[in-house]
Amino acid sequence: MIKVYFRGSCGSSRRAFSWFEKYNINVQKYQISKMTRSDLVKLLQLSDEGWKDIIKRPGKSSSEVRDAITYMELLSFNEALDFVLSHPYVLQTPIIIDGNNYLIGYNEDEIRKFLPKEYRRHRLLSE
């Protein structure tokens, strides 16, 4: 089942939900504050750049987020996990996870990896 961690005020989260609705794909929706430790660890395992892939960009963030990111750099891995889980505002949204696929943010091309294989196969045959 596809899990989507979102922030209510996030336009990218709304676009992702609209995309899933368009393709009739059911997802489990969770506020970003409900991120689980196991999902966060899984996400970090799947990512190429670790924390860099999933936390907000310092240059585009508030001073509060920049300070939190700077503080995280001083922490051990487990301490950083605990910090992020208790300060989820440092995470980008949406975070979409399904098995070994993940997507941070909304990208119209990359989100297609969540289409069922049958749908993708049908589209290829009809083109």
Q: 55-113: per-residue pLDDT in tens?
A: 998 888 889 999 999 999 999 999 999 999 999 999 999 999 998 899 999 999 999 99
Q: Is the pLDDT of residue 115 over 60?
A: yes
pLDDT single digits (tens) 4-48: 999 999 999 999 999 999 999 999 999 999 999 999 999 999 999
Domain limits, the chain: 2-126
pLDDT over 80 at 118, yes or no: no
Secondary structure string (H, E, C) spanning 41-101: HHHHHHCCCCHHHHECCHHHCCHHHHHHHHHHCCCCHHHHHHHHHHCHHHECCCEEEECCE
CB distance 70 to 77 below 8 Å: no
Q: What is the pTM of this model?
A: 0.88
At residue 126, the pLDDT reads 55
Give the other-Cβ count within 10 Å of 26's Cβ.
Answer: 8
User: How would CATH label the architecture of 2-126?
Assistant: 3-Layer(aba) Sandwich (3.40)
User: What's the maximum distance between 2 C-alpha atoms anywhere in the chain?
Assistant: 53
Q: How confident is the model at residue 122 (pLDDT cuts 50, 70, 90)?
A: low
